[in-house]
Amino acid sequence: MWKSLASAVAIGWLLVTPAMGQNGVHEMYAPEAASQFGRMMSAAMDRMHDEMVAPRQTGDPDRDFLAIMIPHHAGAVEMASLVLIYGRDPLVRQLAEEIIAGQQAEIAAMQARLKVLDHGPDPNPGGFPALSGTRGQ
């Protein structure tokens, strides 16, 4: 019996210890904000995943790629916004702002291209929104 109890305690410790350290520094800094931030990030990731797998695959790699990447980028915007609410480090906050601006521009470009592709193949794609500005080029 003692062996079983000791095993159960050991397994419980192994399961709980990693979870306790996941937010480590954040919880020491602001426990309530860290736990709320963690919950909101998890919800944002779950929502992003659900929206990424929701579109029915069409068999057209271009359209399918855009349909999946739009919610992926929207998820990045949502998560970066949470860093602006809860984060404190000025460089991380700056990176979050840059992610938001870049991802929003890419979302708009992907949505525009998807609308073009909705009408069939585009033999003259010269009007596609340029993404070079979002990639630091």
Q: Is residue 100 part of a domain?
A: yes
Q: Which residue has better confidence, 98 or 22?
A: 98
Please check whether residue 18 lies inside any domain of the structure: no
Question: Is pLDDT at 22 greater than 50 in this prediction?
Answer: no
pLDDT tens string 23-35: 444 444 556 666 8
The C-alpha angle with vertex 104 and arms to 100 and 105, in degrees rounded to 5, equals 120
Evaluate whether residue 96 is within a structural domain.
yes
On the 0-12 / 13-18 / 19+ scale of CB atoms within 10 A, 110 is: buried
- 3-class secondary structure, 39: helix
The pTM of the full predicted model, rounded to 2 decimals, is 0.68
Structural domain that includes position 44: 29-52+61-120
In a domain, 125, yes or no: no
Instruction: Please calculate the CA angle 101-95-85 and round it to the nearest 5 degrees.
Output: 85
Specify the pLDDT at position 52. 94
Q: Is residue 134 part of a domain?
A: no
The per-residue pLDDT of the chain, averaged, comes to: 78
Name residues whose C-beta falls within 8 Å of residue 13's C-beta, 6 or more positions apart in sequence.
none
127/37 Cα distance (integer angstroms): 40
In the chain, alpha helices (H) = 2-21, 24-29, 31-53, 61-86, 90-117
Q: Name the domain count of the chain.
A: 1
CA 64 to the chain's CA centroid: 18
Q: Is residue 78 in some structural domain?
A: yes
Q: How confident is the model at residue 14 (pLDDT cuts 50, 70, 90)?
A: very low
Q: Is the pLDDT of residue 77 over 80?
A: yes
pLDDT at 67: 95
User: Would 130 be classed as within a structural domain?
Assistant: no
Does residue 90 form part of some domain? yes
135 backbone dihedrals φ, ψ, rounded to 5°: -110, 15
pLDDT higher for 22 or 69?
69
